[in-house]
Structure 1
Amino acid sequence: METKGLVDAIKHCLQLVHESEPQIINEKLELAEDFCKKHKDDDGKISLEVLGRHLFPEHEHLLLNVAQNEPYNLSERVSIDNTGLKALVRYRGSDKRMSISFDADLLTSKTVEFDSTTGKLTFNQIPMVLRKALEKG
């Protein structure tokens, strides 16, 4: 649960600092995932202060301040679950009839496009196996 809170706090901070720069946001998300995986201590935790300085050198206390307050309420050292970190670099969602998952960088490359006004998600390229299955009907 701590990892999900951390992921949400990182995304919140990135929106504050790089709101209109989706390419930088994706780069920072990848950087955060890599940092968390490589810098966990023996207890499987990372320091929010160190991670914050790494991701936001120009706003070094931003992540710590955001993550330790509502709605995240994280401690300075956060337990990291590698599976939960995937949310930094992947979008996913599902309901009873559908499941969708794709890498975040596909949005910036325009392979996948999202129209926030209509809620429409467009795939300009799909996996070959899926395409063949659709063509067979």
Structure 2
Amino acid sequence: MKLTGSSEFLHELWPSVKKTLNYVFLKWDTDDDFVDSEQHVTYDIELYGPNPLTTILILGAVKAAAEMALYLGEEHSASLYQKIFEKSFNQVDKILGNQSYYEQKLDDVNKYKYQHGQGCLSDINCLVNN
């Protein structure tokens, strides 16, 4: 709606947005904090454990969905998505922050191929808000 000016387009896409988020919540969250799991990414790999790349992308999607739901008059969905956003947002610094940037947290970064572990991906803004 914000980019196209078309609420018709938003109404058309909304069922797919909700379906996609439901998949994320069911398959990509292992412990109800919305910060970690096994997630396939556009590098054609899986990221494991708490990681900033997928977490920040999910946070953006959930925040956008909360605003879309509110616009569409779906207060229950808007409230649910806002609560999920706040819960995850509040966990990011605690789980992923190292006082300088957000990093992937794995006990053994070499257990899986292509994990970044301690380090910062250039795709995202990983600076911790201090």
Q: Which has the higher strand share?
A: 1
**Which of structures 1 and 2 has the larger relative contact order (alpha carbons within 8 angstroms, sep 6+)?**
1
Give the TM interval when normalised to the shorter protein.
under 0.3
Q: Choose 1 or 2 for highest CA Rg.
A: 1
TM-score, with length taken from structure 1: 0.26
